[in-house]
Amino acid sequence: MEETYMREALKEAMFAGEAGEIPIGAVIVKDGTVVGRGRNCVESTKDPTNHAEMVAIRDACKALGVWRLSGCDMYVTLEPCSMCAGAIVLARISRLYIGTEDPKSGACVSLSSITTDERLNHRVELHVGVLREECSSILKEFFKELRKRPKKNLEEIEK
């Protein structure tokens, strides 16, 4: 079952990549039903908080009509950053399934462990490595292609 939902998160990641975003996807599941979906859309929205996890949390809260996502599981293709890990804790998500670690900014197992920190009022049950190869390869391929593109100067980026 874990792989089924991670494949849904991978679909979201692929959509993000096709849109020119970093290909990260997330889904939130409650009682066997996907109640929230998210993909990175930072570039297209010019909003640094529009990470896949944040979008999925907002979507699930809207769908369920609550802000506490107790009993929900999140599946995300890349280890959440500190912002997203904090939001996962604040949303009271019960279980977090991570595809692959992020050694540069991961805040669940790599750089810190926000989601399991015993000092916080909520801890998340953590599962790492679900479809690790697929989740890792979609990111590696994206950045490999990105490095082939000509670099833009600052003026072009700000337009």
Name the DSSP letter for residue 111.
Answer: S
Backbone Cα Rg of the chain: 15
**Residues 6 or more apart whose Cβ sits within 8 Å of residue 60:** 28, 30, 35, 36, 69, 72, 91
**Given 3-state DSSP classes, what are the helix, strand and coil percentages for the chain, each rounded to the nearest 5?**
45, 20, 40
Catalytic pick from 53, 101, 125, 155? 53
Question: Cα torsion at 9, 69, 56, 45 (round to 10°)?
Answer: -160
Helix, strand counts (H, E) of the chain: 6, 5
Whether residue 53 lies in the annotated active site:
yes
The residues assigned a catalytic role are 53
